Structure 1
Amino acid sequence: MASIPLKKNHVATRPGMARFLGQWGMFFRQFVKHPGMIGSVIPSSQMLVDAMLEEVDWDATRLFVEYGPGVGTFTQSILERMHPDATLIAIDLNLDFVAYLEAELTDPRLRVVHGSAADVRRFVTESGSQQADYVLSGIPFSTLPDGVGAAICAETAAVLRPGGAFLVYQYSAFVRRLLTPVFARVVEKTVWKNIPPCRTFRAWREEALAKAA
């Protein structure tokens, strides 16, 4: 499906409490409908969001990609940190989440697309870019059909610039076996101040050989 660019230049359209309740209601309904697509019944905490985004070089980032943005818990924080000239591509298989983000987040730097993370290179090309600086994912890799997780990791490694990073948060260690064959370095940590505690992975694409030499 083609990208869905959003027009207006602000992040949210509803006041804080109404937006919070709307997010929780949408998230819970989608968890009940598609439990295998969503890692937890509770949206990620701000502590987890901050832990995942704290090491991003925002000044140098011009293309950030998010897999499975859901109700935009990470999406909003990414937009708040992003350079004015940067672009965020948010990819989700769930049309309800796509429609929700399109209605709620109206920042022109955001492009919401309906589709699979395995098609990330096509979505990046359609945006007018060739490579991403960072890719963030909360997709529950342990519940994906055989081969899909490995394909997503391989496509992510291919779309990242040399030295770019794949940032993954999960509630199991399963994804590590998919990351290590295709990324030069993988660092795992745990964010305990999240319900439930969450594992985080930072996987870096190898620097260009000429630069390394």
Structure 2
Amino acid sequence: MSLSKSADAPLLQRAKNKLRRMLGPWGVFFTGFLKHPVMVGSVIPSSRFTIAKMLAPVDWDNTKLFVEYGPGIGTFCQPVLDKLRRDGTLIVIDTNPDFIAYLRRTIKDSRFHAVHGSAADVAEIIGSFGFDHADYVLSGLPFSTLPDGVGPAIGKATGEVVRPGGAFLVYQFSAKCRDYMAPYFDRIDQGFEFWNILPCKLFWGWKAEDKS
């Protein structure tokens, strides 16, 4: 490296840091989308209308563990924490280390845990926190663009960890996720949210109550 390039490096880094601070969480989200477009569902975080409708069916009084796949910059995290019981736990899982670092830095709640890993390993991840099942799992991962085999693996893993009476909550631009949910959930309710960029499809996959 030449002397001039070496001298310019700190200036370039400071410029990047300044731009990141100016853009705030939107900058983190957009950067994450550019780095991993097939793993991030949208270039813009979900709207408050999508959040409210997606979480509406959750039985918060009976939710001890809520899991989210692909939390991004935490668009759903604070709304979930606001409703979660005081002894509840929120575990979020993302393959993007930048998102995980941002969430660990910005969300200071003892109930919150951000894990760098794959949603397909959800059973192992929640097990490391002492849980053998989740009450609800939320996902905004773009199932239609995930690498081959990943979508089915996530559907199977989620079907195994969600408790009877619990649900897999998914918001997407495509209905592809339904194919991966159907083998493991007894009922799938569907919805649609127009007030989102882009308008998105909503799915709630329910496990039947254990009547034994």
TM-score for both structures, normalised by structure 2: 0.88
Equivalents in 2 of 1:129, 1:202: separation in Å?
22
Please give the per-residue CA displacement for 1:86-114, whole angstroms capped at 9, x wherever unaligned. Answer: 00000010000000000000100001111
Please give the per-residue CA displacement for 1:59-83, whole angstroms capped at 9, x wherever unaligned. Answer: 1100000000010000111011110
Q: Secondary structure at the match of 2:190?
A: strand
The match for 1:157 among 159, 174, 192 is: 159
Gapped runs of 5+ residues in structure 1? 1-17
Please give the per-residue CA displacement for 1:134-180, whole angstroms capped at 9, x wherever unaligned. Answer: 00000000111222111111111110111110000001111111111
Per the alignment, residue 103 of structure 1 pairs with 105
Equivalents in 2 of 1:130, 1:108: separation in Å?
20
Equivalents in 2 of 1:194, 1:103: separation in Å?
27
Measured on the aligned residues, the alpha-carbon RMSD in Å equals 1.5
- Percentage of matched positions with identical amino acids: 55
Gapped runs of 5+ residues in structure 2? 1-19
Equivalents in 1 of 2:70, 2:187: separation in Å?
23
Larger Rg: 2
Q: How far 1:30 sits from its partner (Å)?
A: 1.1
Please give the per-residue CA displacement for 1:31-78, whole angstroms capped at 9, x wherever unaligned. Answer: 111111111111101110111111111111000000000100001110
The match for 1:65 among 49, 64, 67 is: 67
Q: Secondary structure at the match of 2:175?
A: coil
Q: Which has the higher contact order (CA 8 A, sep 6+)?
A: 1
The match for 1:94 among 86, 96, 105 is: 96
Matched positions, count: 193
TM-score for both structures, normalised by structure 1: 0.87
Equivalents in 2 of 1:26, 1:33: separation in Å?
11
Equivalents in 1 of 2:34, 2:126: separation in Å?
31
Give the residue type in structure 1 aligned to 2:69: Y
